[in-house]
Structure 1
């Protein structure tokens, strides 16, 4: 839409401040009709723009892959919690990230000091943020959880049950 507006302005000749040789050249290339008598144009900015666009696409791809790994890690944590008194606190699927909240159904955990609950997990090699009412917050790593790490988490959830 913006490109079309620029094209119309350039063709009309009513906006001399847009009389940029590179803009005109790129518009002509985009329209497959390069003027025969075009002035010399420095095309260096096209290379830097292209590099910036490629870098942004690469970043987006890596971020998407990272989020997918974190979500797979959440599935692993859910399996570790299965069969324990820890319940996943539901959130809307569209808000799902690499973070999950769990709440203990054990009344002792709900009444316990949240720092003590966090300490019990840390003693078993797992670090979670702990909150009142027996709630813990798990932030999964950006890399896939190893089988060893999953086993450590599973034992921690079984022991702090």
Structure 2
């Protein structure tokens, strides 16, 4: 009898899922006492690269694929929460322990739909206080960056015909 080896992807397992069928990713969120599992998070690799390198493009969205029942319950509660639409979550790839922290809002959620998260910012969990990649920065952070830039520029005469800096 000849048996053909079936790849994990052909067997219905996505990247990030182990041979045993366990969930390949965990979501760590502040309002649960344990990590929430899912099979895969599309865009995770790009988010991790962007968190490490500010010059790399960050994904606009992350997609939660095949959440376990506890994760799906949490996502359902979040999708109905009209007071806290933005959440901070740390996404961990279980295979190697890589983590990225994202500030996100739900962009798509529903029966038969993979949950899509619109990403506001990504950072590495141990760099929580410093923004590595974000579309939104605290005003004090921007003022400090602009002050450094102004201090490094040579003094110049303002031309009344040029627009203000």
Greater share of strand residues, 1 or 2? 2
Structure number with greater CO (CA < 8 Å, separation at least 6) is 1
Q: Give the TM-score, by structure 2 length.
A: 0.22
**Structure with the higher helix share, 1 or 2:** 1
TM-score with structure 1 setting the length: 0.22
